[in-house]
Structure 1
Amino acid sequence: MRRRLLRIIVSLLAVFLTASCAAPSSQSADPASPTAPIPPLGVSGTSLTLDGKPWWPIGINAYQLATDWSVNAGCGAEVDLDAFFSRLQPHSLTRFNAFSSLAVNKHTGLLDFSAIDAVVRAAERHGQLLVAVLSNNEGACEGDSFKDYEWYARGWRTEVSPGTPMTFQAWLDTAVQRWRDSPALAGWTAVGEPEPSECRDPQCDWTRRYCHPDSPNVLRAFYDATGARIREIDPDTTIFSGHAGGGQCGSAGEAFERVSASPGVDVLEYHFYHGIDSLPGNAFDGLVRRTQQARALNKPLLITEIGMQAGSCGSLDNRERVLRDAFTEMRKHGTAGAMFWSFVPDPRPSECTLDIGPTDPLMRLVGTSPG
């Protein structure tokens, strides 16, 4: 409750200050000024809520929002933040990378939060909602350091991985404390697509990884500990599991339900890619099975990544039709929302990619409901 009240106060203060400092009528108003408080994201049983009302969001992944080539090493292309958020309907849900590597000034080697701060401030100006992903399992944009069984068991507290400035435990504390009071910060994901497996070759090829029998217990303990710490710092926030949702080590089959029962997780995740995954999916790790497990836990299951290749291999309009049908079916199966993968400012129409550019037909659906 403290955080929700503070969010409302901050948003109202921003509106008051904007009105108090308004330009003369001969000048245009600031298009990036919020017109109303940003409503809080919440959870009610197997559903998400917005401002206390049931909500089935269609959101977007924009992992590279905190890339600033003048400051950090980046993760993808630079994005015009005001242009991006202004295209979205108010209170749309955007998932982005808030990695510790993006808080390092590449010129000085010192901590520099300005790039991630800019994302949060821009979302506030445009009345948008963010889910911040604090790290990813494969180590992309973080020195390519794979997070293995030992990392989940102990290393996240003690190791400083290549390409990062501090331990993950320290970064979690730092990030949540810094951005917890932003009305735009709707929730946190500790690690994207967690998989506590062991590498059997230098490249850590997924076909040669070994899954330790105790991996589900290690992943559950990780969720318990990180979720408790996030909740201690930011009591009213929403915590996402980060799951890819398939048969990954530590959460395959029935283990998904066991680790997802953690009190350190509010929203379960599933990732769906047309042409690779199918509906309703297999009986062990498919979407329908995951929705059954989510219902048993009385938690929402959000499709935080839904994607399909297009460009040289298919039209953007056809992709929009296929994915619209897919998430409509997903809703019927009991999911809590869907988020497209992934926005890029510089799409490659002559190639077969998952790119979703600024004028892509899918962008028109962000913030709407499938009906």
Structure 2
Amino acid sequence: MRIAATIVATVLSMVLGTVACTAAPSTTPVSRVAVSGDSLTLDGAPWWPTGLDAYQLATDWSVNRGCGAEVDLDAYFASRPAGSVTRFNAFQQLAVNKFTGRLDFGPLDAVFAAAERHARLVIPVLVGQDGACEDETYKDRDWYRTGWTAQTTGPLSYRDWVATAVSRWGDSQAIAAWEPIGEPEAGVCHDATCGPQLRTCPADAPQVLRDWHDEVGALIRHHDSAHPITAGLLGGDQCGMAGSGYALIADSPYVDFVQYHDYDDSRFLPLRLSQTPKPLVVTELGIHAGSCLPLHERAERIGARLDSYAELGAAGALLWAFVPDPRPDLCTYDIGPDDPVLAIPQMN
């Protein structure tokens, strides 16, 4: 799976500080997941995926700066039922050795290897909108237009990171889909922190995001022609998605299925379902529990919400978020290894 082209590209990046990732994988990838109308299939059979967001899977404090707590990968994937999906952060910073500043794929390799050992599926998220666990910088309109091709704080530009990651892991049987970015927006910043109060949304934001998904999607397809690509859209009235913006992005030929992130009691979900014939997966369902709600009551609410998604026509759902160290005395979205939500029928 670790192809020679990726090794060469990595060496070049260390020596030259850049990488020209133009060669497609030497093997032809095969995807277990496919799109069928407004639904998904797994190994050719109808599939309504459920699972967890576990953003921190590639945290390895002995190598990288991490993003959340370390996770026992074999224990985690062994605990998940067959056919379940885990969405996790596959950010460039998690492939950078914090001692040398150079690329070190070990922690991310370990995630894919563990998922493969247990025949489980993952959605790698290649970068986040808000910069969390990387440079902590909000990605503005200019980033979507040109900034994503420029080298910034990491060894590689975002463009070269996408090419490198997809080339390296594109033939993995663990991949359910590639997610280019989590929760994209195309706002214009008016101060150094790009705070939401001083951020504006330009009229061309939907087209900027559509053009970007077209370009990045074509790049992913060049290196992996088999696995689906999903647009990691929040789905509300965020900059670039309000009104018909969501539909414009969803219509990209390089978006196979779209997302909705539900922290608003599904307020926009019926609208988003009506705007695209493609599958829509609720890839983040977050309900607070702990000090503010007993865990068993949250499990009941989540079970009912999953039933409502299926009735509305959504194509699957993932829960935000698994953590190995839940905080029961606080009001959080934490889902620990023994959370009762994992026992509800819809999750098994």
| TM-score (normalizing by structure 2) | 0.90
1:306 matched to 2:285? The reply is yes
2:261 to 267, 271, 280: 271
Contact 2:306/2:346, CA 8 A, preserved across alignment: no
Q: Residue in 2 aligned with 1:13?
A: none
Q: How many percent identity over aligned positions?
A: 49
Q: CA deviation at 1:368?
A: 3.8
Q: 1:237 aligns with which of 218, 227, 244?
A: 227
Deviation at 1:57, TM superposition (A): 1.2
Which among 155, 161, 166 is matched to residue 152 of structure 2? 161
1:114 to 93, 106, 114: 106
1:250-290 Cα distance to aligned partner (Å, 9 max, x none)? 111111101210111111100002xxx124x2xxxx11000
5+ residue gaps, structure 2:
1-24
Counterpart check, 1:203 vs 2:193: yes
Separation in structure 2 between the aligned mates of residue 6 and residue 183 of structure 1, nearest angstrom: 12
Q: Distance in 1 between matches of 2:152 and 2:308?
A: 41
Write out the 4+ residue segments of structure 1 that deviate beyond 6 Å after TM superposition. 5-8
- Alignment root-mean-square deviation, CA: 1.8
Instruction: Name the CA distance, whole Å, in 1 between partners of 2:191 and 2:45.
Output: 49
Inter-partner Cα distance in structure 1 for 2:345 and 2:253: 30
**Secondary structure of residue in 1 paired with 2:338:** coil
Letter of the structure 2 residue corresponding to residue 167 of structure 1: S
Aligned to 2:61: 69
Cα deviation digits, residues 153-202 of structure 1 (max 9, x gap):
111012x333x221110000000000001111221100100001012223
C-alpha distance in 2, partners of 1:196/1:349? Answer: 36
CA contact (8 A) 2:57 2:73 kept: yes
Q: Does 1:194 align with 2:205?
A: no
Q: 2:271 aligns with which of 289, 297, 302?
A: 289
Matched, 1:320 2:299: yes
2:4 aligned residue: none
Contact 2:303 2:346 in 1 (8 A): no
State the match for 1:21 in structure 2. Answer: none
TM-score (norm 1): 0.84
Map residues 4-43 of structure 1 onto 2, 5 A cutoff: 40-43=32-35
Partner of 1:186, secondary structure, is coil
Residue 10 (structure 2) aligns with: none
Give distance in 2, aligned partners of 1:146 and 1:53: 40
Structure 2 letter corresponding to 1:246: G
Q: Find 2:320's aligned residue among 323, 329, 341.
A: 341
Larger radius of gyration: 1
Structure 2 Cα separation of the partners of residues 55 and 129 of structure 1: 13
Q: CA deviation at 1:119?
A: 0.2
Please show how residues 42-53 of structure 1 align to structure 2 within 5 Å.
42-53=34-45
Q: 2:248 aligns with which of 234, 240, 258?
A: 258
Q: Could you tell me which residue of structure 2 aligns to residue 361 of structure 1? A: 340
Report the AA paired with residue 339 of structure 1. Answer: L
Structure 1: give runs of 5+ residues left out of the alignment.
9-38
* Alignment size in residue pairs: 324
**Deviation at 1:96?**
0.4
Amino acid at match of 1:269: Q
Deviation at 1:208, TM superposition (A): 2.4
For the residue of structure 1 that corresponds to 2:177, the secondary structure is strand
For 1:269-324, what per-residue CA distance to the aligned partner results, in whole angstroms no more than 9, with x for missing partners? Answer: 00002xxx124x2xxxx110001012xxx200100000111011111100000111
2:310 is matched with which residue? 331
What is the CA distance between 1:133 and its match in structure 2? 0.2
8 Å CA contact 2:296–2:340 kept in 1: the answer is: yes
